[in-house]
Structure 1
Amino acid sequence: MAAVHDQENPPAAAAAVVVVVVPFLFQSHLNQALQLAHLISSYKIPVYYATSAAHCRQAKLRYNGKNTSSITHLNFIELPMPPFLSPPPNPNSTLKFPSHLQPCLDVCLELRHPTAALLRQLSSSSKRVVVINDTNMAYVTQDVATIPNAESYSFSCISAFSLHCIINQGILDEYKTNVDRIYLKPIAETVTPEILKFAAYQSPHEDLKSGDLINTCRTLERSYLDLLKDKKQWAVAPLNPVIRATDEMINNNTCLLWLDKQPRKSVLFVSFGSTTSMMDEQVKELAMGLRQSKQRFLWVFRDAERGNAFSDDNGDRKSGLPDGFEESVEGIGMVTRDWAPQVEILGHGSVGAFMSHCGWNSCMESLSMGVPIVAWPMHSEQPYNALLVTEMLKAGVAIKECDGDLVGSDLIKEAIEEMMVSDEGVIKRERAEEIGLVLRNAVEEGGATRLEMDSFVEHITR
């Protein structure tokens, strides 16, 4: 096991309460867990962020806070994890779940014993060890039950509505009547058998938790949170920074510099997260739809990431765009193949909408900045998030069914125009602005989320 403190942080005095955050290894989960760790540490509680060395590095490099120096006080614990295969994604798969990441998930179960050793070491010098584990890491943290002065809390990185749908699959027919563009399948039909087996490893250990932290805001999802409440529960979102981009945040990033030159609210930001790959034919249809819409756009054109985010060709996408496409949209559109600062982009005044796969992290970042969503869900709980955003919150439009079929440029153009230039789009954008104000107010002193976080800290330091 790695030493309790990394080289960045000298050993602190023994604390009454310490918190250990154990994230899941997908990028969006790593990021949300790091944001949560930073938030808890602002209460002057020692926080340990424990995962493999590579994933510690990945989380730190991509931290989307305004100032990365704000996380130097966290204790990053590099747990030993066996090497694993890191195959490339298969963009031609009709099932869009990132099955190429499975080797990484299989070996992450080996984090159990070094995690247990870390908890025992911390328990010997602390009044209480509080473990916050991603719901997908319950197996890894199961030994908390053997430590008398330790307690655990699950951290859910998806919306309360999606949790409700997953737990109660029979309700899907009720929601299908409300939507004509998003095809709601049981989640088992949008993921692989291997990930279902991985999830089954977690199930026997889920009851060990003393409560739930959920990445949502009570003001936004109160009714669904009430449906889920069977233990102590805290809604702690938004976790991402909610301050809009400033000159200090730009740091000469090419995307942000390009946005500086565009009219206010005129740009469609297009990004499908770190686990999505599109087949070349679909890329061409998207490119044509963007060009035909005649709307300004910023497109993050990358493949799904490998299990090792530091592979030389990680995320590279060299093919798929029509010949001459970038030249044909010069001045109107920008294509970037680099890792993009999504929070800062969404907070930029020139961004008017976000075409997204509807991962919940992306949804929360977009909504907290008051940016409506053109929803294009791919797998897992993303169709449920898309339904929540488009039908319940009325802050987006849906582009397609989550069924693996090719989406033509005409449908893509139609959805873009509906959002960017129609009267209905104006209503969606106004609604997103209202939600953004609610979410930003929630994290201020006396706001709904701040009160929930205060309550959680009071509970664990009781």
Structure 2
Amino acid sequence: MAHKNYTTKSNVQMSVQDAQVAVIMVPLPAQGHLNQLLHLSRLITLYNIPVHYVGASTHIRQAKFCVHGFDPLTAKNLHFHEFPTPSFETPPPNPNASHKFPNQLIPSFYATIHLRDPVSSLVRQLLGANHRRVIVTYDSLMTWVVQDVPAIQNAECYRFNSISAFHTFSCIWEARGKPFLAGTEIFEGIPSNENCCTPELWELWSKQESLEGKISSGELFNSSIVIEGLYLDLVAKEISGLNLWAIGPFNPLLLTEQNKDSNKCHQTFDWLDKQEPDSVIYVSFGTSTSLSNKEIEQLAVGLEKSQQKFVWVLRDADKGDVFAGDERRARLSEGYEEGLKGRGIIVRDWAPQLEILAHPSTGGFMSHCGWNSCMESISMGVPIAAWPMHSDQPRNSQLVTKFLKIGLNVRHSCHDELITSDMVENAVRTLMASPERDEMRKRASELSISVKQSIRDGGGNGAEMDSFITHITRCTLPSS
């Protein structure tokens, strides 16, 4: 990666006391994206730098809901700004759509263009309030919101990539004509991006792509050299002249008593506490995917036939407004839950995923392989049964199974046929009760230990984070 100067956190904290720098966060309004920049905000406030987190009212409310587990001292330096956007209608999640991409969120993505003027005004307001520099960190799909910021004196933008470096470089590699480079052999047979996203998202991306070269002063990844060093280096070579920081994992690695206390009443923990170590598979497909009734039926039967213990989070995908209206309640066959006889539990609402993955009884994770979930599972040393649904998830699953070798595939891509109960049963048995599981679990545990050694207790790569903070609080900016 690009050369950076490293120093200690204590020295960095001392140097920023008088730096008079403020940071603005501009997230994409989808739960996984909101959460990543919220955790990055938490990490930056540890350096006594104020962070201003912006969005529409609904999405700020979503973000605030997650702050209840944060250290109160952190929250004091985290400021939320609700800006108006036009009202819009969104369809409900469609579990029977031919693709799993959450098209119901697209109207809220387009509404973010109305944040453009408020964000620029906030930059100027902070500069006029004794801040000598304002740093705007924006989701890679929010470029159009920050396009005016680089023209403001003493303001800089940094692009946050909410996806893996592996996925990022795989797309670059394809665009470059698939050149032979060390480490790219694994891309042979990589799942196609075709139909993993919808035309609506590609249109949104294309509207912003032409702006990118004029906006960003550097790249940020919620990743770690320990996990993706090769692919981070390959990406860095493609963005010559820009610094790249791998400052993850953002999620806490060592859960404090406050983290545990905030979720200790959740229904899963009384049950998990009674189970044997590494005996339970956690099943969850994130906030953007709705399973069809047929998929739910096959998954339910497969879990039952596997004879393994499980916690299954069975809920619909997020709506454009997560606080509006009732959710579809997916139906299981009559008597299914009662017939589990203590072998599994069904969770119909939000579940504290990080704490469940960290629980000693959890020994596997059936996941859609969203990047947040991958990082959390890697952090806690839990091997993955990969069932990718859309977007970057098929390629994340390849990183997990072929490169890191800490999991197996339930299916490989967005285009595979319907998952059957036999496929679910085989995947769960292999992950939880086969000779192969020991090697996957050993590698997952070793990777988790290496990641934890590279970060601080609260999350975030120490040296990389210090380097980024030193950079944004430096004395001078390049002349325009």
**Partner amino acid, structure 1, of 2:126:** L
Q: 1:241 aligns with which of 249, 252, 260?
A: 252
* TM-score of the superposed pair, with normalisation by structure 2: 0.88
Aligned to 1:429: 441
Matched, 1:146 2:151: yes
Report Cα offsets for 1:34-60 as digits up to 9, x if no partner: 000110110011111111111111012
The residue correspondences of 1:105-184 to structure 2 (distance < 5 A) are 105-125=109-129, 126-169=131-174, 170-171=177-178, 174-175=185-186, 177=188, 184=191
Most deviating of 88-97 and 252-261? 252-261
Q: 1:102 aligns with which of 99, 106, 111?
A: 106
Most deviating of 345-354 and 317-326? 317-326
Aligned to 1:324: 335
Aligned to 1:254: 267
Matched, 1:210 2:239: no
Report Cα offsets for 1:158-199 as digits up to 9, x if no partner: 110011112222549954656xxxx701x2421111110111
**Partner amino acid, structure 1, of 2:217:** S
Q: 1:198 aligns with which of 197, 201, 204?
A: 204
Q: Secondary structure at the match of 2:289?
A: coil
Q: Secondary structure at the match of 1:136?
A: coil
Matched, 1:414 2:426: yes
Q: 1:226 aligns with which of 226, 233, 248?
A: 233
**Partner amino acid, structure 2, of 1:436:** S
Q: Closer, same or farther in 2 for the Cα pair 1:123/1:438, shift >3 Å?
A: same
Q: Secondary structure at the match of 2:250?
A: coil
Q: Does the 8 Å contact 1:188/1:196 carry over to 2?
A: no
Aligned to 1:267: 280
Q: Closer, same or farther in 2 for the Cα pair 1:65/1:162, shift >3 Å?
A: farther
The residue correspondences of 1:352-391 to structure 2 (distance < 5 A) are 352-391=363-402
Q: Closer, same or farther in 2 for the Cα pair 1:334/1:64, shift >3 Å?
A: farther
Matched, 1:75 2:75: no
Q: Closer, same or farther in 2 for the Cα pair 1:18/1:319, shift >3 Å?
A: closer
Aligned to 1:308: 321
For 2:119 and 2:249, how far apart are their aligned partners in 1? 28
Greater relative CO, 1 or 2 (CA 8 Å, sep 6+): 2
Q: Secondary structure at the match of 1:270?
A: strand
Matched, 1:279 2:295: no
For 2:197 and 2:416, how far apart are their aligned partners in 1? 12
**Partner amino acid, structure 2, of 1:263:** E
**Partner amino acid, structure 2, of 1:23:** P
For 2:121 and 2:267, how far apart are their aligned partners in 1? 44
Aligned to 2:55: 51
Structure 1 residue 381: Cα displacement: 0.6
For 2:72 and 2:387, how far apart are their aligned partners in 1? 31
The residue correspondences of 1:432-443 to structure 2 (distance < 5 A) are 432-443=444-455
Structure 1 residue 100: Cα displacement: 1.4
Structure 1 residue 294: Cα displacement: 0.4
Q: Is there any run of 5+ residues in structure 2 with no aligned partner, and where?
A: 1-16, 475-480
Q: Is there any run of 5+ residues in structure 1 with no aligned partner, and where?
A: 1-12
Aligned to 1:7: none
Structure 1 residue 244: Cα displacement: 4.3
Matched, 1:347 2:351: no
**Partner amino acid, structure 2, of 1:351:** T
For 1:64 and 1:262, how far apart are their aligned partners in 2? 28
Structure 1 residue 311: Cα displacement: 1.5
Q: Closer, same or farther in 2 for the Cα pair 1:108/1:118, shift >3 Å?
A: same
**Partner amino acid, structure 1, of 2:210:** P
Structure 1 residue 103: Cα displacement: 1.2
For 1:35 and 1:232, how far apart are their aligned partners in 2? 21
Q: 1:405 aligns with which of 406, 414, 417?
A: 417
Q: Does the 8 Å contact 1:66/1:241 carry over to 2?
A: no
Q: Secondary structure at the match of 1:142?
A: coil
Root-mean-square deviation (CA, aligned residues, Å) is: 2.1
For 1:276 and 1:171, how far apart are their aligned partners in 2? 31
**Partner amino acid, structure 1, of 2:269:** L
Q: Does the 8 Å contact 2:90/2:104 carry over to 1?
A: yes
Q: Secondary structure at the match of 1:139?
A: helix
* TM-score of the superposed pair, with normalisation by structure 1: 0.91
**Partner amino acid, structure 1, of 2:144:** Y
The residue correspondences of 1:11-26 to structure 2 (distance < 5 A) are 16-26=20-30
For 1:448 and 1:63, how far apart are their aligned partners in 2? 17
For 2:27 and 2:138, how far apart are their aligned partners in 1? 6
